[in-house]
Structure 1
Amino acid sequence: MNGLLKLDQVETHIGQYHILQAISFEVRKGEVTVLLGRNGAGKTTTLRTIMGLNPATKGSVTYKGEPIQSLPTYTIAKKGIGYVPEDQGIFAGLTVEENMKVAIQKENEETAKRMDWILELFPDLKKFWKKTGGYLSGGQKQMLSIARAYVNENELLLIDEPSKGLAPIVVEKVMESILQIKDQTTIVLVEQNFMMASTIGDSYYIIDDGRTVNHGTMKQLKEDEEMKRKYLGIA
């Protein structure tokens, strides 16, 4: 096994609410692992727990063999985990250029190469380089959010609902960009759009009511009509 990230019986409380009750999964290096489940199942909280934003109250989160569940978020990020939150998390009052500069942890030759590659991948960002984040469309904001997470030499990207609220034609562009990025890094993807998830993903874990209930290859899930109907509401 070439596991990069592993969660073992992770539990998370938010206030009085017991959100994650038994989350276990392993992310293999070089693959896209998709977390699936209905709204409110605990997928976003799972990503936030990995990043230390909603710390685990029980269980372990291990990255490259090292426990990280008790570390602060900034330390987790410096270990090589990029995070694209559900709300995109860009700075509306800063320009695209400033948003990118704020995200860069170390300015070096490798970062410069990644920046050039990103601007080829997302030409709209280059076009609106001097415009503020608030000026961008929903799809462009999503591209900026992904670009900010990818510009550093992160070995793992956590991407939460990249298609949310986007028009179908924009979803296709975002999907194409993630397909290109997956050739160069490992990804954990939370995505409600099953067409997008099944196109990008290599393996899947289904989360239901804060628990991991099923997993396998994406090819297996595409063929399992009962599983899709039971946990994802796909007829």
Structure 2
Amino acid sequence: MSELLQLKDIETHIGQYHILQGVSLEVKRGEVTVLLGRNGAGKTTTLRTIMGFTPASKGSVIFKGESIHTLAPYTIANKGIGFVPEDQGIFSGLTVEENMKVAMQKENTETLKRMDWILELFPDLKKFWKKPGGLLSGGQKQMLAIARAYINENELLLIDEPSKGLAPIVVEKVMESITQMKEQRTIVLVEQNFMMASTIGDRYYIIDDGQTVSHGTMQELKENEEKKRKYLGIA
């Protein structure tokens, strides 16, 4: 099966609010699938529904052929899905080293190899290894959040708005890291920065008012000025 993840007619409520009203998508192995749409369209809720934080009230989430939408978030994580939330989710009072060790599910030869690779990719993390996470810059915190999700044997990474609030030079570093990670991981990316999304994404889904309204290859979207203007506000 080339599809690693499938969402079928997902509906999600948060309290009295009907946020997702029919989101369907397929994520193919070895690709970066980008979720696009205006603020408030339901992109973050889609990631949180996959992880079980805001469980679907209707529809199904299928990972590696198994329905997971009724499972607890920790069970979903243990099945091989890593999550980088919009607020990064690091422990400010713990050092960079402690943040990484807390994130580790296993400490074995393969994990240590990945750790070495991560520290080569993000030398700032090595530099501030013994410093509290709360003292890192915004870009360094984002690097740490991505590193925490990558350290385990996760087949799928969900990454929410990694460029948000970052300086252009840091965005380039984050783009470089995700580009290298896509060689070994399947990625679902929520990203408002269209330059970044169109550079590293293979396929796209546009979510508008809680519904999937368009999907295809990223190359197709780059060439479709009408869709970019209508759904993304890109002139």
Compute the TM-score of the two structures, normalised by the length of structure 2.
0.99
Q: Equivalents in 2 of 1:66, 1:184: separation in Å?
A: 22
Offset of residue 56 of structure 1: 0.4
Residues 1-235 of structure 1: matches in 2 within 5 Å?
A: 2-235=2-235
Q: Deviations over 1:3-53 (max 9, x none)?
A: 000000000000000000000000000000000000000000000000000
Q: Equivalents in 1 of 2:232, 2:190: separation in Å?
A: 13
Offset of residue 227 of structure 1: 0.2
SS of structure 2 residue aligned to 1:157: strand
Q: Equivalents in 2 of 1:115, 1:177: separation in Å?
A: 14
Which residues of structure 1 form unaligned runs of 5+? none
Q: Equivalents in 2 of 1:202, 1:22: separation in Å?
A: 23
Q: Equivalents in 1 of 2:32, 2:41: separation in Å?
A: 20
> Given residue 112 of structure 2, which amino acid in structure 1 is its aligned partner?
A
Q: Equivalents in 2 of 1:114, 1:55: separation in Å?
A: 31
Q: Deviations over 1:111-170 (max 9, x none)?
A: 111011000000000000000001100000000000000000100000000000001111
> Given residue 203 of structure 2, which amino acid in structure 1 is its aligned partner?
S
Q: Equivalents in 2 of 1:121, 1:167: separation in Å?
A: 18
The share of aligned pairs that are identical, in percent, is 82
SS of structure 2 residue aligned to 1:88: coil
Aligned length: 235
> Given residue 223 of structure 1, which amino acid in structure 2 is its aligned partner?
E
Q: Equivalents in 2 of 1:155, 1:205: separation in Å?
A: 20
Q: Deviations over 1:157-204 (max 9, x none)?
A: 000000000011111111111101111100000000000000010000
SS of structure 2 residue aligned to 1:131: coil
> Given residue 88 of structure 1, which amino acid in structure 2 is its aligned partner?
Q
Which residues of structure 2 form unaligned runs of 5+? none
Q: Equivalents in 1 of 2:149, 2:156: separation in Å?
A: 10
Q: Equivalents in 2 of 1:15, 1:106: separation in Å?
A: 36
Offset of residue 107 of structure 1: 1.0
Q: Equivalents in 2 of 1:19, 1:169: separation in Å?
A: 34
SS of structure 2 residue aligned to 1:145: helix
> Given residue 36 of structure 2, which amino acid in structure 1 is its aligned partner?
L
Compute the TM-score of the two structures, normalised by the length of structure 1.
0.99
The ranges of structure 1 where at least 4 consecutive aligned residues each deviate by more than 4 angstroms after the TM superposition are none
SS of structure 1 residue aligned to 2:39: coil
